Structure 1
């Protein structure tokens, strides 16, 4: 893990690169506990020496930020990417509860809407994986009780089972063919013994017609689970058909002349409108290969200075 992180995308302080949020106070919380800040185990793992105390870390960080002035905030956003996006969903209402009732508090999750889905071999790999995380980290007591009162704790690590009960305004940013989910949920480790999916996993453009049919089915299943959010006015979503994972912290994705768009809005513009109550945004892209605005992974580094 590097000693420094460059603030880019939604964290940038350049109004040309981040027009809505450049002058906000921004705090980046480094993440390494593996349990989306839900862990709470007193004992240290005797084999690895690891501490599974993510929930305690989240608590003390929030206490520190409140003491430094966040308690007087008029606007506040909780956001994160990937496991941080899942953190955003799981902690959204708790974060809202830390601030005054007069504050406008919203959450937006980037690439954190992981779905409970069978892999291509017919096994429930990700369901068991998430269950093992919850057990290892002692996460059950820090997951939404509205879910754990009716389901096994491991299932409450999936947004589809908790997001509908969230009372705080929530925005979901996700690719329908999320790169991580394709590689680790649909084509899970061990599911592709013959390696026939290697090229397809590297880029959706390499997929055979049969593989693309499987991916289109995965997209439809993802959208089915997303719809559990309901039509509420406090929900927003930007679901594009790009082959990507995390789109808020890379400048090429976030905002610029070549950034992905839905209804002619960049991600930054759509989220900015929603956060600042300018306009609702609830749009889903057409299936691949319709979207011509997607950013190629190979272009990200070269476009950082746009």
Structure 2
């Protein structure tokens, strides 16, 4: 496997470990794992053929009939070699998955997560490499690879419906990174599976991947997504509202999907998304001399010319976002941090020193939007204007 492709495979692994250590240190209890062994007979399996897994914390009190379903992130794999690497870790096999704690958006403390703390809270583990879109019947004989991400998603959702989600009063489909993209791609489908009387919305954290050129002028990410879609047979499971107008790989870019959605959406993203800058704007294939290495590690180390490129990236990102005035139900929190995924940790979700725009933290903005207290459409000024930023990657 080429070094250039590795970030797409395991870019969140280190962040997951750090996040796990942080919540463990805080004394939070692990959340039970549900191995969905019954799904195997339906072909709903991880890349290696192992059963899907989700973590479930049941709701209580006023949240007993409310459901928060969060999809884990972790990049994509575009060929058999990359997917085979994932088979050897939790990105492609449930054999390597371990219990974890919930924090941030999934946290169970009323003080730390006032709007969602007592809901039924679910985290779907990500082990397919296609943002839960793949569905290929044939199994590669040589590699024993199963491209079945959509079946995994549907099997978990069906299990949750049977657990009581079919009577949901409120529901939020969310995800981080590749899971944040999945929250957009599956948004309307999720809405259609729930009661017509339920309030159903979707929340994408760091899932708004930009259709943009890299620093060498190539459309690296377009080619990458085309390979992912072709390998996993994703086209049939992408929103028809987009694929009827665009080639399938273009529908991996939210800017072409979001305007077609029927279901209310909240977009949380850093305008200088750390992962996108490392892997979409300045991938190693576009920077053979590694002149961007220090800048990608720490935005404070960027040269003036590199900062100029980053400011242009922000302009392109802002231009790709849906226009708030055209979508009154759209929520947005676009800060100027150098970060990736900001809803999974308490200190970035809802704390006294969390990243904020107009003195509003992310958790407050999302809660206000979900409950229609206020449609938060918060857009930050350009870097380095926001002193509340925590410039790091989480998952």
Same-fold call, TM cutoff 0.5:
yes
Conserved? CA contact 1:175–1:241, under 8 Å: yes
Cα distance between partner residues in 2 of 1:230 and 1:155: 24
Count of residue pairs brought into register by the alignment: 299
Q: Tell whether 2:289 aligns with 1:194.
A: yes
Q: Tell whether 2:107 aligns with 1:12.
A: yes
Q: 1:43 to 1:36 in 2, by over 3 A?
A: same
Deviations 1:115-168 (A, max 9, x none): 111100111100000010000000000111122122211111111111100000
Q: Note the C-alpha offset of 1:8.
A: 0.7
Cα distance between partner residues in 1 of 2:140 and 2:182: 23
- What is aligned with 1:160? 255
Helix, strand or coil: the match of 1:227?
coil
Q: Which ranges of structure 1 fall in alignment gaps of 5 or more residues?
A: 301-306
Cα distance between partner residues in 2 of 1:66 and 1:249: 24
- What is aligned with 1:303? none
After TM superposition, the score normalised by the length of structure 2 is 0.74
- What is aligned with 1:3? 98
- What is aligned with 2:272? 177
Conserved? CA contact 1:81–1:111, under 8 Å: yes
Pick from 60, 63, 67: which aligns with 2:158? 63
Q: Note the C-alpha offset of 1:60.
A: 1.2
Q: 1:181 to 1:296 in 2, by over 3 A?
A: closer
- What is aligned with 2:368? 273
After TM superposition, the score normalised by the length of structure 1 is 0.95
Q: Note the C-alpha offset of 1:62.
A: 1.0
Q: 1:230 to 1:33 in 2, by over 3 A?
A: farther
Q: Note the C-alpha offset of 1:4.
A: 1.4
1:1-306 equivalences in 2 (<5 Å): 1=90, 2-227=97-322, 231-297=326-392
Deviations 1:157-203 (A, max 9, x none): 11111110000000000000001100110002311111110010001
In the TM superposition, structure 1's runs of 4+ consecutive aligned residues that sit over 2 Å from their partners are 45-48, 227-231
Cα distance between partner residues in 2 of 1:46 and 1:154: 26
Cα distance between partner residues in 1 of 2:367 and 2:245: 36
Helix, strand or coil: the match of 1:212?
helix
